[in-house]
Amino acid sequence: GDSVTQTEGLVTLTKGLPVMLNCTYQTTYSPFLFWYVQHLNEAPKLLLKSSTDNKRTEHQGFYATLHKSSSSFHLQKSSVQLSDSALYFCASGTGGYKVVFGSGTRLLVSP
Amino acid sequence: EAAVTQSPRNKVAVTGGKVTLSCNQTNNHNNMYWYRQDTGHGLRLIHYSYGAGSTEKGDIPDGYKASRPSQENFSLILELATPSQTSVYFCASGASGTGGPEVFFGKGTRLTVV
């Protein structure tokens, strides 16, 4: 079945440093890929999404590029802020109904 | 913005009891989903639906039933609750189509089975 893999459970960084959160996927059909962010005690919210191969997608300083050749959709930011501390989920959907999430990566940013 | 409302927000249930979690969406989305969130496991899909009257099994359906009586409402039913079902449950809705199956989440229900 479809699956999404996030290899890092926890990433800790100092404010101002760059970050990359890894996401790889396995799907039968050409997928949509998403990044969701969940702040403490809140619901997950969409951060960005893409279905276009090799095109960079950006939102709120975060960016990601879907690479179908390597089945990857890594999330990056050039300079993290304290407010970026949250749980980040990568997700995959195939245009139909089923949306599958990865296990999540917790990002902790320190002063 | 998309509106998904879950009730109750918190629930304590006894082992062996029946629990019903309710979800209502006002977005006229075809698709609705139930996920559970546990540390280390992320969001796991329990059941989903692509329209009124339909329910489909997700990745972890055992011990759960779902009901979609209308476009707006989607319930998750635990017939015989067990402590292993203690978790935070999220309902979500989404539309199929060219924009992809982006989902909008409710605020979650914290269920404790004692």
Sign of CA dihedral A66, B49, A28, A8: positive
CA angle A59-A60-A65, nearest 5°?
35
Using the beta-carbon criterion (under 8 Å), do B100 and A32 form an inter-chain contact?
Answer: yes
pLDDT band at residue A27 using 50, 70 and 90 as cut-offs: confident
**A99 with B42: Cβ contact below 8 A:** no
Please report the domains of chain B, with CATH numbers, ordered by start residue: 4-113 (2.60.40.10)
**What CATH number labels A3-110?**
2.60.40.10
Confidence tier at B95 by pLDDT (50, 70, 90): confident
Q: Does any CB of chain A come closer than 8 Å to the CB of residue B88? A: no
Residue B46 has pLDDT above 70, yes or no: yes
Where residue A29 falls among pLDDT bands split at 50, 70, 90? confident
Structure tokens at B91: 């309902």
Q: Could you tell me the two tokens for B75?
A: 């319930």
Q: What value does the mean pLDDT take over residues B44-51?
A: 92
Percent of chain A clearing pLDDT 90 (strictly above): 78
Which residue from A minimizes the CA distance to B49? A97
Identify the H or E element spanning A62: strand A62-65
**Which residues of A are less than 8 Å from B106 in CB distance?**
43
Give the chain B residue whose CA is nearest to the CA of A99.
B101
Least confident window among A74-83, B21-30, B40-49, B91-100: B91-100
Residue A1 scores a pLDDT above 90: no
Q: Is the CB of B105 less than 8 angstroms away from the CB of A9?
A: no
